[in-house]
Amino acid sequence: MAMTETKYPGELASPHQIHALAEEYRKGAHLLLPLGRPGKPLTRAPFRLSAIHAIELYLTALLLHRGHDPNQIRKMQHDLAARAKHTLEAGLRLRAKTANHLQSLSQNREYLITRYGPEPAARARGRSRMAETA
């Protein structure tokens, strides 16, 4: 029986398609933002996850546009700092605050906490910073 190679979802997507997907996640994040309630950080988790994913997709789109191998990009997993480093090398210019925020998101494992950890996510802060970055 011959083994058939299964493509990873998104592996064949163009940079334009990834950018368009990022735009949709960004729009979705901004629609979710008003659903968060003051004093209830957990209610902002859907916004945060969508915003983080949009940022990841924007960085991925640029890396693909600059000729990076999709498999190498995927090996970065959800490390926004690694993606940002490569996009800076590819010519992206970020404000210092934005670069620091991306570094912080990775160091604090924000993606995993927002996605899987209701207890740390309940302490999440930085709503406005996340909205600015996304």
Specify burial of residue 42 (Cβ count, 10 A radius: 0-12, 13-18, 19+). middle
Asked if the structure places residue 27 within a domain, the reply is yes
pLDDT at 118 over 90: no
pLDDT > 90: percent of the chain = 42
- For the whole model, what pTM was predicted? 0.81
Asked if the structure places residue 1 within a domain, the reply is no
Residue ranges in the chain assigned as alpha helix (H): 15-32, 45-65, 70-75, 80-89, 96-107, 110-116, 118-121, 127-133
Residue 16 CA to residue 32 CA, distance in Å, equals 24
Q: What local confidence, expressed as pLDDT, does residue 133 receive?
A: 63
Split into its structural domains, the chain has a count of: 1
Residue 91 DSSP symbol: T
The more confident residue out of 58 and 117 is 58
Q: What is the dihedral of CA 78, 80, 83, 88, to 10 degrees?
A: 180
Q: What local confidence, expressed as pLDDT, does residue 130 receive?
A: 59
For 4-40, what is each residue's pLDDT tens digit? 567 777 778 999 999 999 999 999 999 999 999 988 8
Asked if the structure places residue 75 within a domain, the reply is yes
Asked if the structure places residue 114 within a domain, the reply is yes
Predicted confidence band at 106 (pLDDT cuts at 50, 70, 90)? Answer: confident
Residue 40 CA to residue 58 CA, distance in Å, equals 28
Most confident of the following: 58-62, 80-84, 109-113? 58-62
Asked if the structure places residue 68 within a domain, the reply is yes
The count of other CB atoms within 10 Å of the CB of residue 2 is: 3
Asked if the structure places residue 60 within a domain, the reply is yes
Predicted confidence band at 1 (pLDDT cuts at 50, 70, 90)? Answer: very low
Residues 97-107 have a mean pLDDT of 87
Q: What local confidence, expressed as pLDDT, does residue 114 receive?
A: 84
Range of the domain at 119: 15-33+40-133
Asked if the structure places residue 92 within a domain, the reply is yes
Asked if the structure places residue 59 within a domain, the reply is yes
